[in-house]
Copies of this chain bind each other. A is one copy, B any other.
């Protein structure tokens, strides 16, 4: 596994590999890797690609109240895990080479960035879109893999790719969960033992939304109320949102006709967690099964 720090070197390396008509699969990460990240690398390898992971804690996507300083940094174990996964190249750029002192160009993110995380974390998606665009330029890959756990992030990146004609395909991969349902997240390591038990409330609330939909409850009002009640049972310490939204626009959906995304952001102890689930009406589930 090649570890590259230099910006010119990573571009030259990838450009060179591309000329061999090899397909490149990119897995951008902020490190603190867990089974979710590693499943993305696995996926690239299964697809027969040269797997390139990046590890960079991107300052521009953290707000002033966010946890940039204390974001977990576990480079050694990250590299070991990537090596075990068969990752081919890891790009670990120094922060001051990614953002020069005079850096002032940003991506103004698409409209799907407006609500939810975009509203609660002003500037977050501007930072995400900017770093992802930069990485796509430095590493001209054919495919980039992202975890569906950050559903809105994937939607923002997909819209950016479409709008700006970026020559890359975005693959959104299934959320990897702990046996009890908690979505894998680098922030889970902040949870105390007691927080950890309560954190599964997000998954329970999402699953409940699906069960209620199965039972014929298909209005936003009733599904959101059910999710909130379940979150309060956990109990979580505060709820940023618990909503039923359109898979494409992420605007609230009043009645779930076929499918929608249930999304939650809540705080457990001092840790802010997000999760989501695609919920489907019974008929659609049947169709999906027979396809």
Q: Which residues of A contact B (CB under 8 A)?
A: 7, 11, 15, 19, 21, 100, 102-112, 126, 129-130, 133-134, 137-138, 140, 159-160, 162-167
Contact = CB atoms under 8 A, between A and B. Distances in A.
B103 A134 contact: no
B105 A160 contact: yes
A104 B159 contact: yes
Contact of A167 (B100, B103, B137, B166): B137
A108 B137 CA distance: 17
Contacts of A133: 164
Closest 8 CB pairs of A and B: A105-B163, A104-B111, A106-B108, A104-B110, A105-B110, A137-B165, A108-B108, A105-B160
Contacts of A160: 105
Nearest to A168: B137
Contacts of A7: 165
Given A19-B21, A104-B159, A105-B107, 16 more contacts: A11-B165, A19-B19, A103-B163, A104-B112, A104-B163, A105-B164, A106-B108, A108-B108, A108-B126, A133-B164, A134-B164, A137-B164, A137-B165, A138-B165, A138-B167, A140-B140
11 contacts: A11-B165, A11-B167, A102-B159, A103-B163, A105-B107, A105-B109, A105-B129, A106-B108, A137-B165, A137-B167, A138-B167
A19 B16 CA distance: 10
A256 to B, nearest CB: 22
In the assembly, how many copies of this chain are there?
2
Nearest to A7: B165
A159 B104 CA distance: 8
A112 B105 CA distance: 10
A290 to B, nearest CB: 31
B159 A140 contact: no
A134 to B, nearest CB: 5
A81 B130 CA distance: 38
Nearest to A11: B167
A107 B130 CA distance: 9
Contacts of A159: 102, 104-105
A255 to B, nearest CB: 23
A108 B105 CA distance: 6
Nearest to A248: B102
Nearest to A114: B104
